[in-house]
Structure 1
Amino acid sequence: MLNARVGARSADNVRTIAALLMLVAAGFLAIRMVIVYHYTLSYGADHPRAFSDFNFYYYAFSTVLNSAHDPSLLYNNERLVSYISNLGANTVNDILIYCYPPQFALIFSPFALLPSFAAKLTWVAMSVVLCIVGAILLAKMAYRGEDKRVTALLIAVTLLSFPVLHDAYLGQSNELLFFLLATAFFLVERGNRWAAGVFLALAVVFKVTPLAVVGLLLLRREWRTVVSTGIWAIALTLFTASQLGFRIIWDYFTVEIARAQTHIVSAGGLPGNSSVRGALQTVSERLGMPASEATLHATSTIFAAIVCLLACYLVLRRSQDRRMDYGLACITMLLAAPILEPIHMVVALIPLAILLGTALERWDVRQSAIVPRAEIVLLALAVFLLFFMERSAMYTVSALLTWVLCVARYFLPASERRLNPQVDSGRLDSRML
């Protein structure tokens, strides 16, 4: 009877926390709607400034559509700057470089058939709808309980985080990446592994960095998903090569990626670059002891190697819940990069939703090396930091907190493991499937 009372009280506490978080989310929704309305009015009078990052995409789409005979123009910076200037967009403070793979430009080149502003509106509408779909699928995957309020909470936390609004405001592509990854994970959980590979392949050819996710799925022996991803990625690459030539694909991997990273990294540290490298650069400058480029490069490389090797070890040797592997893969992909722009934190919502969903799914069971109350507090802080526009190291702290919380899930105390034999069900399921 005592256990029943304690359980009922804990369930009531969870419902209370969920209700309060929903209230906070509703407040932020109202604020977001006012901001969106304001920007809509201003964009109506200044089309070039509207969804400004899409200008770069529109340049790439137009180049592929109208200059397929000379695909090298895709990465011609002088031509890009001239194009953006002719549109009437700002070219003073922005980072003027296009650094997406050729496959991305080719697949979405039909957008260039539309006038610039119509293409922007269509792109943003598509991104928002896909982000909503991705948030719903992510919530269903992250939480397997029956309380629909928790599912609604996870969707609200995802859609109301500032990186999502910022991504839509700029006309960026991280909502698309979020949708592709969330859908791939959802399909794997539902047993549709061949279909999951299609979405993961699109993520890889659009952004390249999701290769980290493929690597960890390989460690999990998700053979069908990995094979499907490889087949579709190769098919999309061959199709691009047939249209634009193999040379542009080769040049992209051997020249353009390094050139783009050098250009972007030179733009500075926080808050524009919320990576560990960016934080170290800013902190060292404020202390009056600017770190050299060699120091910054060595530090970011060593840190990336550590988080990647640790992720491989955890997934290979200590995996407990397949969903946590997805979360760890996403946050590792972000932290290992020398550049972590605030809009990239849209993808960090995947591990945050998984952490929150699994915590509320089994609120009466300890699942982490961190005690439950401390875990909830740290998780709430990581989420809360993403509800605001980036300032200083806010997003760096959120990313690191998310990574620590994910890693802690792999180190459940031995005493808790003995009391909770179901904790190894994820590994058992992966062997059976």
Structure 2
Amino acid sequence: MLNARVGARTGDNVRIIAAFLMLVAIGFLAIRMVIIYHYFLSYRANHAQAFSDFNFYYYAFDAVLRSAHDPSLIYNTDRLLEFLKNLGVNTEGDILVYCYPPHFALIFSPFAMLPPFAAKLVWTSISVVLCIIGAIMAAKMSYRGADRRVTALLIAITLLSFPVLHDAYLGQSNQLLFFLLAASFFFIERDNRWSAGVLLGVAVVFKVTPLAIVGLLLLRREWRTVISAGLCAIALTLFTASKLGFGIIWSYFTVDMSRFQAQIQSAGGLPGNSSVRGALQTISTSLGMPASEATLHATATIFGAAICVFACYLVFRRSRDRRTDYALACMTMLLASPVLEPIHMVVALLPLVVLIGTALERPDMQQSAFSPRAELLLGAVAVLLLFFLERSATYTVSAFITYALCVARYFPPAAVLARERRDGLARLDSQSI
């Protein structure tokens, strides 16, 4: 009876925190409407600067459509600068680089058939719709309970976070990546692994970094998903090579990627780069002892390798819930990168939704090294940090809190493991009978 009262009290505390998050989400909805209206007014006045990052995509799409005979123009910085100036874009202070794989430029090249501003509107509208669909899928995958208010909360956490709004404001592609990953995990949970693999394969050829997720799925022996992802990636690569030549693909992975990364890293540390490298660069500079490029590179490389190896160990040796593996894979992908831009934190919302959803699914059970109350409170802090525009290390802190919550799920109390072992034995006995 005492255990029942303790469990009920814990469940009530968890629900109070969830209700608080819902109230905050409603408040931020009103604020977001004001911000969106402000953006709308500014875009009407200046079409060239509207959805500014899409200008780089539009250049690559146009280069494929108009100059397929010379695909190297996709990554020609001088040609890019000239193109942007002709559009009326103010390029002062920008990092002038288009850094996506040629697959991305080829597949979306039809957007260049539209006038620039029309293409921006269509792109952003599609991105927002896909993000909403992805948020619904992520919520349904993360929470299997019957309380619809929890599902609404999880969707609100995604759609009202500032990285999502910022991504739409810039005309960026992280909402698309969020959808592809959320849909992949959703279909795995629905035992539709071939479709999941196709979506994951598309994500890999668009961004490359989701290879980390493929690796962790491989450790889980998700053979159908991995094979489907591999076949899809190969098919899209062969299609791109047939249209643009294999040389541009080879050059991108052997030469251009490192050049682009160096250009992006030259922009500095926090808050533009919320990675470990960016934080170290900012902190060391503020202390009057700027870290050298060699130190920054070594730190980022060692840290990235360490958390990748640690993730492999956790998934291979201590995995209990596939959904936690999805969350860990996403955070490993983000933190292992030497560049973590604020808009990349759109993907971090997926682990947060998984963590909060699974916590609310069983509020009376401790699933983590943290107590249910502490786990949800830390999750709420991570979410709240993402509700605001990035400042200094806020997104870095949010990323590390989320990562810590993911790791803690692999180290539940011994009592929980003993209960699961007993439940497993009971199921085996019932099946044998």
Shift of 1:8: 4.7
Cα shift readout 1:345-395 (whole Å, capped 9, x = no counterpart): 000001110000011111111111122222222111111100000000000
Task: State the alpha-carbon separation in 1 of the partners of residues 423 and 262 from structure 2.
Answer: 44
The answer to whether structure 1 residue 226 and structure 2 residue 226 are counterparts is yes
Q: Secondary structure at the match of 2:344?
A: helix
Asked if structure 1 preserves the Cα contact closer than 8 Å seen for 2:58 and 2:111, the reply is: yes
Name the structure 2 match of 1:31: 31
Task: State the alpha-carbon separation in 2 of the partners of residues 424 and 62 from structure 1.
Answer: 58
The answer to whether structure 1 residue 171 and structure 2 residue 178 are counterparts is no
Residue correspondences, number: 426
Q: What is the correspondence of 1:288-367 to structure 2 with a 5 Å cutoff?
A: 288-367=288-367
Greater Cα shift, 372-381 or 52-61: 372-381
AA in 1 matched with 2:417? R
Q: What is the correspondence of 1:232-311 to structure 2 with a 5 Å cutoff?
A: 232-311=232-311
Shift of 1:15: 3.5
Task: State the alpha-carbon separation in 2 of the partners of residues 172 and 424 from structure 1.
Answer: 46
Q: Secondary structure at the match of 2:89?
A: coil
Q: State TM-score, norm by structure 1.
A: 0.96
Q: What is the correspondence of 1:47-66 to structure 2 with a 5 Å cutoff?
A: 47-66=47-66
Q: Structure 2: give runs of 5+ residues left out of the alignment.
A: 429-433
Name the structure 2 match of 1:102: 102
Name the structure 2 match of 1:142: 142
Greater Cα shift, 260-269 or 89-98: 89-98
Task: State the alpha-carbon separation in 2 of the partners of residues 20 and 424 from structure 1.
Answer: 36
Asked if structure 1 preserves the Cα contact closer than 8 Å seen for 2:57 and 2:105, the reply is: yes
Q: Secondary structure at the match of 2:19?
A: helix
Shift of 1:183: 0.1
Task: State the alpha-carbon separation in 2 of the partners of residues 189 and 422 from structure 1.
Answer: 25
> What CA RMSD, in Å, does the superposition of the two structures yield over aligned residues?
1.5
Task: State the alpha-carbon separation in 1 of the partners of residues 401 and 14 from structure 2.
Answer: 22
Shift of 1:316: 0.4
Q: State TM-score, norm by structure 2.
A: 0.96
Asked if structure 2 preserves the Cα contact closer than 8 Å seen for 1:131 and 1:175, the reply is: yes
Shift of 1:192: 0.1
Asked if structure 2 preserves the Cα contact closer than 8 Å seen for 1:320 and 1:424, the reply is: no
Name the structure 2 match of 1:431: none
Name the structure 2 match of 1:197: 197
Shift of 1:298: 0.4
Task: State the alpha-carbon separation in 1 of the partners of residues 292 and 306 from structure 2.
Answer: 21
Shift of 1:85: 1.6
Task: State the alpha-carbon separation in 1 of the partners of residues 105 and 396 from structure 2.
Answer: 30
AA in 1 matched with 2:53? D
Q: What is the correspondence of 1:378-393 to structure 2 with a 5 Å cutoff?
A: 378-393=378-393
Q: Structure 1: give runs of 5+ residues left out of the alignment.
A: 429-433
Shift of 1:412: 1.3
Name the structure 1 match of 2:151: 151
Shift of 1:23: 1.4
Cα shift readout 1:124-154 (whole Å, capped 9, x = no counterpart): 0000000000000000001111111111000
AA in 2 matched with 1:138? A
Cα shift readout 1:38-82 (whole Å, capped 9, x = no counterpart): 110110110011000000000000000000000000000011111
AA in 2 matched with 1:353? V
Q: Secondary structure at the match of 1:347?
A: helix
